[in-house]
Structure formats: structure tokens, C-alpha cells
Amino acid sequence: MKRASLITLILFGSLSAVNSVRAMDYPLPPAGSRLIGQNQTYTIQEGDNNLQAIARRFNTAAHIILETNNTIAPVYPAPGTVITIPTQMLLPDTPREGIVVNLAELRLYYFPPGENSVQVYPLGIGQLGLETPVSITRVSQKIPNPTWTPTAGIRARSLAQGIKLPPVVPAGPNNPLGRYALRLGIGNGEYLIHGTSAPDSVGLRVSSGCMRMNAPDIKALFAQASVGTRVQIINEPVKFSVEPDGKRYVEVHRPLAMLEGENPQTVPIAQPAGLASFVAEQGSDKVLVNKALSRRAGIPVAVSTGEGPVVESTGQSALNREVPVAVTQALQ
């Protein structure tokens, strides 16, 4: 599957490219840099039912769009509203190898071997109480056309909701695992990266611990990742970087709730190692850092001394188009 790079999208602003590209394919930044991409803006059109539909068009997560645009309605946003599409980010502070999942971002990063690029995909992850585990592992098996055998726990939870699951769901378009699955070498093999028959669940915490992707995304990843591919799963809502030009950035996401009813906008964030030193260094504006930690905008925010507003809602403007009224499931 051939994908246009983000730079190509920015330079040409092609409507066909925006509509056809699935994974966002970014050139890797130079040595010492972690900043990739450029934010875009989009004007809500008549017929844009909810942010899930918009998120799928730009292959991001509605959750992150809401972080960045925290005053818009997740269902039936007002036509004419200009929103920021969060397509700029800091790479996780991990080895640039294989698959990297940051649960707090609801994103999967794939670093194709031998290529100077990274692919970024939105992801659905484990729900509260059934969290996707933080770990370093490998792809242990590639499964085309998987069948689904619900675990005893899943069967019991479904039965409590009045749904009796069959012992085995055969492969096909209605299979909850989609058309492709990558089994991970953790636990007893119950954790998968897979497709889904419920595309609105991508970008949400809804699974029993597996990670689910849009159908074109898992197809592309499945074709590239091999058995033995390194997989690192982290949960880091705060990323920060000093870029080669001296500019300093902090990217803060709302942390995953650990208790029912917890407000991710106000719950304390565990600060990563090195952040205190980053803030104390000459060139960092402590006030801007604290504002970024409070705002939790889900995009890189400049926090160098002398910077202006903490969050700017400007970026490359994406071409708008009419959207069919096809998505009826509201953002959960």
C-alpha cells in the first residue's frame, strides 16, 4: 500500500490525497529532534455528524481532536466551526524500532525497518479495569482472517448485558477482530493488535485489553510487520523535547482514568523522569509549562522563554468536502 507523505499533503493540499491516505506517514526528524508533522485546520461542514467521522477522514482519534478543541461539541458540532486537526506531535522517547504504542495518546507508531519514516495510526485500547498492559514484547503470530473465541470473562460480561455470545465467531466482515490480527507475546497470547467491525470504537477505551485499528490501517501494518517485530507499549501522557534549533516543546494528553468517574482534565499527571530538569533549565518558561500541563491540549506546545500563546489553533488548512450523513453512532 503506497502512502503519500505528510509533506506531500502539505505541499499539494490534494483533496484526493487527504481522502485516500490512511496512515499518516511522516519523515523521521533529524538527529536530536522529536517533532514531526504540522497541524491542520478544518471547517465543520453540514452533514458532519460527529467527530468520529472527521477523525477517520484524517486518520486520527476523536479523543485527541477533543483534547485540542475542548470547546466544541463531540456530537453535531456546529457547521462553520474551525477546528485544529492534531497532526503534529512529538515522537515517544523510545527506540525508533518496530511498533510503539502510547496508550495515553491512543496512537500506534510503526517504524518500517530500513526506512527513514514513521507511520502513525489511531488506536482503540482496553477499557477501565481491562487495561492494555504496559510492556515490551514481540509479534508472536500473524493471523489473516482470524476467528474469534470469546473468553470466559467476555462471555460473562456480555451475558450480564443480555447478550449471549456464540462459542466461536467465524472469520468475515462481522468478526470483531476484523480481517487481520497480530498476536503479541505477552500473557497467554490473549493480547492482539487487530481490526474491528466497529470502526467508531477506534480511538476509544472500549476493548478487553486488545488494541483495535481501522480496517485499512491494520491491513497496511499486517503487510509490513513480521513475526518477531519489537512491540513497546507505554502509557506516557507527557512528552517534551529540546529541538536542534533550541526551541522547547511540551505535549500533554489527558491521562487515562484509573477510577470510575475520574476527570482526566483535572486528575494529577505523573510527571516523567527528566521533566523537572527540563523545566529548570535555562530557556524553559515555567509558567508556560505549567499552563500546558493544565490545558492538556494533546499537541506540542512551545514553552521556550519568550513564546506567545500556549495553544495556537492555526496550521495547514485542509481542503473541506461535503460529508454524507452515514455515521450515526455518537462519540462515547
Model pLDDT, residue 156:
80
Positions in the chain short of pLDDT 50:
1-22, 312-332
Instruction: At 173, list the grid cell.
Output: 466482515
Model pLDDT, residue 12:
28
Model pLDDT, residue 216:
94
Give the CB-side neighbour count of residue 180, counting CA atoms within 13 A: 16
Model pLDDT, residue 311:
53
Task: Give pTM, 2 decimals.
Answer: 0.84
Residues in the chain, total: 332
Instruction: At 265, list the grid cell.
Output: 482534565
Measured in degrees and rounded to the nearest 5, phi and psi for residue 249 equal -135, 145
CB crowding 36-50: b at 16 or more within 10 Å, else e: bbebbebebeeebbb
Model pLDDT, residue 145:
93
Model pLDDT, residue 23:
59
Of these residues, 66, 210, 213, 311, which one is catalytic?
210
Return the C-alpha torsion angle 217, 218, 222, 223, nearest 10: -30
Q: Are 92 and 234 in contact (CB under 8 A)?
A: yes
Measured in degrees and rounded to the nearest 5, phi and psi for residue 157 equal -65, -40
Q: Give the span between the Cα atoms of 281 and 59, in whole angstroms.
A: 36
Q: Give the span between the Cα atoms of 202 and 332, in whole angstroms.
A: 11
194 catalytic per annotation: yes
Model pLDDT, residue 135:
97
Q: Give the span between the Cα atoms of 61 and 65, in whole angstroms.
A: 7
Q: Give the span between the Cα atoms of 214 and 245, in whole angstroms.
A: 36
Q: Give the span between the Cα atoms of 187 and 6, in whole angstroms.
A: 36
Residues 6 or more apart from 152 whose CB is under 8 A from it?
A: none
Of these residues, 34, 56, 179, 194, which one is catalytic?
194
Model pLDDT, residue 149:
74
Model pLDDT, residue 21:
40
